[in-house]
Structure 1
C-alpha cells in the first residue's frame, strides 16, 4: 500500500472514530456509521477491522467513558511494572527504546554543530514529521495538511535553533519502519534492535517522560498516577505540563495518559489520534 492510500485510509478510520466519540451515547450502528462516511457497510467493516483490529461496534464500546473508568479502576497505582530502573529505558510494543538526555552543555549550545535529518513519514495514525540526530530520534509529531507540517517544522527549528536541518525522507524512512512496523496488520513484529531517543528537557520533564515509557502497551494512566509514580503526588499540573511538552509522540507514549474522568482530551496531535492509538494498542496487547 502506498503512503497516499495509507493516509486516505487513516483519514477514513479517523472520521469513523470521531463520529463514534461524538455519538457514543446513542451507540450508532454500522449502517448509520457507513451512511455518515459515505462508505459501504462491507468496506467500512473490513477497513476498520484491518486497521484497528476489532469491529466498529467493539471499538465504540471501548471508547465510552464507562469503559475508560472501568479500566482505570482495575489498574493498580503504578506498581512494579512502572519501575524505571537505572537505565531509564522502557519496553514499548516489541521495541526497546533507549533514552539519552542532552547534557547541560549541549542544551546551552542549542544544537550548534549538530546535523539533524528530518522528513515526512507515513504512519497508521496519519502523516508525521520525524527528525533524528546521530544519537537518536529528537522529534516525532503528527500533522494534517500543509499548515500542520509547517507548524511542526517551526517547532523543530525552535527546539534546535543552531543545528543544521536537512530534509531527507530517505534517511529517516528506516527509522520510521522501526517505529511503526508493528502498528500495521501486515507486520506483527518490529524490526529487531534498539531505537534511541534523544530527549531535551528539564530534569523534571525527563523524569516524567521516562515514566511514560514504563506504562505497558494497551494500558492507560491518569496524570495523578504518573505524579505518584515519580514521587511527586502534589505535582499533577506540572506533570500534565511536562507531558504536553513531549516532542517525541508515540515513542514517548503520552497518549496513554488521560484525565481521571475518563476523557481522552489534551493531546498535542488531536484527541481522535489519541483514541486511535489507545484503541489499537488495547486491541493488540
Structure 2
C-alpha cells in the first residue's frame, strides 16, 4: 500500500464562491427533498414536502426556484427515477456526431469554455512523482467541494455532502500517491469561480489537466463532448471511442473520473435508463442532472 502523500498546509476554512451558508443550505434542502420523493409511494404535494422539511410553502418554493430556476413542482419531476428514461428518449446525445462536429477537447461545455491537456503516459505511470498539486475547500452549488490543481489546471474535484469531508479529501489525495500536496485555495480560486459559474468575466477559461491512463483519458474526452442537459450511455461512449465491446471498462473509467462536474460523468446512464451509480453519491448525481436540465429548459 502506498504511503499517504505529503500534504502541506492546515487551513480548513472553505472559500466562499457563493454565500457559503446559503448554498450549502440550498443543497441540503434539495437533498432532503430527494429523499422524501424517493421514499414516497405517491406523488407529494408542494405543501406536503414543505411541511416535512419544516418550511413554509412559500419559503420552500423560493429556495427551490433560486437554486434551479424553475418551480418546485417541475423540479420534482426531474428528480423522479423515470426522468432518466425521459432524458434518454428526448435528450439523448450521439457522441459520434459530437466528435464529428469537433465538440470534443477544446469545445464548449454547458455555459463554460474549457481548455484541457493530458499528462503523458509516462507521467501518469510515475503516480505524481515530482508533481506539486495545490488544493483547497470551496462552497459549491452542491455543498462542500475539494478542488485540486497543478500549474496547468484543475486536476480534481470531489464533493463531500454525501461521504464527508475527510473521505472526499483522502479519496483525491490517494489518486496521485507520490505527489506533493500544498493547501493553497487562493491559487485555485479564479479557476474554481469559473468552473461553478461564479466568475467575474475576467477569466475566459477554466483549464483542466487530465491525469489518467490513455484509455481513461479517451473516455473522459468523450464525456466532455456531452452538452449540458443531455445524457448518454456507457455503450454509446464505448462506440464513440472506437471500442464498442469495452462497456465495462468504460464504466470503470467513468467512475474513476477525478474532475467531477466539469468532466460530466453524471451524464452517463445505463442503457436501460437507470441512473447507475455515482462516485460521490447517487443523490448528488440526481441533483446535478436536475440542476442542469431545469436550466436547459428555462
TM-score, structure 1 as length reference:
0.89
119, 124, 134: which is aligned to 2:141? 124
Question: Aligned pair 1:180/2:196, yes or no?
Answer: yes
Shift of 1:65: 3.9
204, 210, 227: which is aligned to 1:216? 227
| RMSD between superposed Cα atoms in Å | 2.3
244-253 or 257-266: bigger deviation:
257-266
Residue correspondence of structure 1 range 104-143 to structure 2 within 5 A = 104-143=121-160
Shift of 1:196: 1.6
Higher relative contact order (CA 8 A, sep 6+): 2
Question: Aligned pair 1:101/2:112, yes or no?
Answer: no
The answer to whether the 8 A contact 2:104-2:224 is kept is no
Separation in 2 of the partners of 1:267 and 1:66?
17
Separation in 2 of the partners of 1:82 and 1:59?
31
Question: Aligned pair 1:159/2:170, yes or no?
Answer: no
Separation in 1 of the partners of 2:108 and 2:201?
12
Residue correspondence of structure 1 range 4-15 to structure 2 within 5 A = 4-15=21-32
Separation in 1 of the partners of 2:263 and 2:60?
31
Residue correspondence of structure 1 range 236-255 to structure 2 within 5 A = 236-255=247-266
76, 79, 104: which is aligned to 1:63? 79
74, 92, 99: which is aligned to 2:109? 92
180, 201, 205: which is aligned to 2:216? 205
The answer to whether the 8 A contact 1:100-1:199 is kept is yes
224, 229, 233: which is aligned to 2:240? 229
Shift of 1:262: 2.4
Determine helix, strand or coil for the equivalent of 1:138: strand
Structure 2 unaligned segments of length 5 or more: list them: 1-17
Residue 78 of structure 1: aligned partner: 95
Shift of 1:192: 4.3
Residue 279 of structure 1: aligned partner: 290
Separation in 2 of the partners of 1:7 and 1:76?
31
200-209 or 243-252: bigger deviation:
200-209
Shift of 1:246: 0.4
208-217 or 224-233: bigger deviation:
224-233
65-74 or 82-91: bigger deviation:
82-91
